[in-house]
Amino acid sequence: MAQPKREKREVSASRAELENLEKKSSQFIQRRNELNDQARVARGERDLLHDKRKELFEQLNQIRAERDKFNQLLRQHKEARNAHQAQAKELIGRRRGQAKKGEESRSAPMRARELEHQIREMEYRQQTQVLTSKAEEKLVKEIRLKRAEVAKLRPDLSKSKQLKVDLSDTEKAIDVLFAQADEEHKHVVAYYKASQEQHEKYVALVKEVGRVIAEANAKHAEFVEIRKKADDQHEKMLELRNRVLELKGEASNERREARAIIKDRSRQVREAVADPKRLDAHAESVLEQLKKGGKIRIG
């Protein structure tokens, strides 16, 4: 009878260990699920920050495009202003006799205007004066050379504003040029202010983008750390789950063995009952035990 009791104690101990392991496994599962919930929250906050960063980048591109547009306009009006001022100063110098005799204008627009004026005078002279063949040939050659020079100046003329003043009246031309320069300067100042406003917005937004990126990186690091802890809980749960399955397998084997033993004993009893000789032998054995005062054991 000692062996069945020992087996019962072993089964009871295995069952207690199994219950303890299943309890710990449930605790690991619960903790893992809690950490996964925290990780989802952190991931959601990180993704919101990434969306915010994208929005800020779009705003940055818009502001930068506006700033670049204003800068382009500023440069155009600045070039026009400087050209008008240079042309007016050159006229002032010529008026004061500072320009040497035969000295050509240094600005392309001014030089083009001078050449056009000279060409018109030559053409008028050719049409209104009686010239010798040699003189007319020389005049035609000079007109052709000046037209060729104007053609060479056209690429430079396309880069700067051409003069729209009458050079025949120097004083008036100077006043008109300075007036145009002042008007261009107003545009320069206006576009400079507009560009600076956009630039200040751009700089402030760049700082905001940096802050959002830093927060997103920190939130991502938090998400990774929480997921790592959740994975650790999951690994521990799997270890216990494997042990639980092993114990359940052992218990199942023991139950199968116990059922086999019970089945075998039942078979033996049925065979003994069915066989009269074995039953009589068993009865004699029982009587012998009674005579000796011993205990009776059946089966």
Q: Mind listing the pLDDT tens digit for each residue in 235-264?
A: 988 888 888 777 776 655 555 655 655 565
pLDDT reported for residue 101: 46
The predicted-structure confidence for 43-97, as pLDDT tens digits, reads as follows 999 999 999 999 999 999 999 999 999 999 999 999 999 988 888 888 787 777 6
On the 0-12 / 13-18 / 19+ scale of CB atoms within 10 A, 288 is exposed
- Percentage of residues in the chain having pLDDT higher than 90: 34
Contacts of 44 (CB under 8 A, 6+ apart): none
Query: Which of 15, 18, 10 lies closest to 244 in space, CA to CA?
Result: 18
Residue with tokens 């204003």: 70
**69, exposed or middle or buried, with CB in 10 Å at 0-12, 13-18, 19+?**
middle
Average pLDDT over all residues of the chain? 78
pLDDT of residue 72: 95
Q: To which residue do tokens 């983008």 refer? A: 209
CA atoms of 71 and 188, how far apart (whole Å): 9
Three-class DSSP category at 298:
coil
**So what's the pLDDT on residue 155?**
74
pLDDT in tens, 163-214: 555 555 777 888 888 899 999 999 999 999 999 999 999 999 999 999 999 9
Query: For residue 185, which of 76, 67, 72 has the smallest C-alpha distance?
Result: 76
What is the pTM (predicted TM-score) of this model? 0.53
CA gap 102, 104 in Å, rounded = 6
pLDDT of residue 61: 94
Report d(CA 206, CA 200) in Å as an integer.
Answer: 10
Tell me how far apart the alpha carbons of residues 272 and 179 are, in angstroms, rounded to a whole number: 136
Domain range list for the chain: 1-102+171-299, 108-159
Query: What is the distance between the terminal CA atoms of the chain, rounded to a whole angstrom?
Result: 14
Q: What is the mean pLDDT of residues 91-104?
A: 62
Q: How far is CA 119 from the centre of its chain?
A: 63
Write the CATH number of the domain with boundaries 1-102+171-299: 1.10.287
Q: What is the DSSP string of 99-132?
A: SPTTPPPSSHHHHHHHHHHHHHHHHHHHHHS---
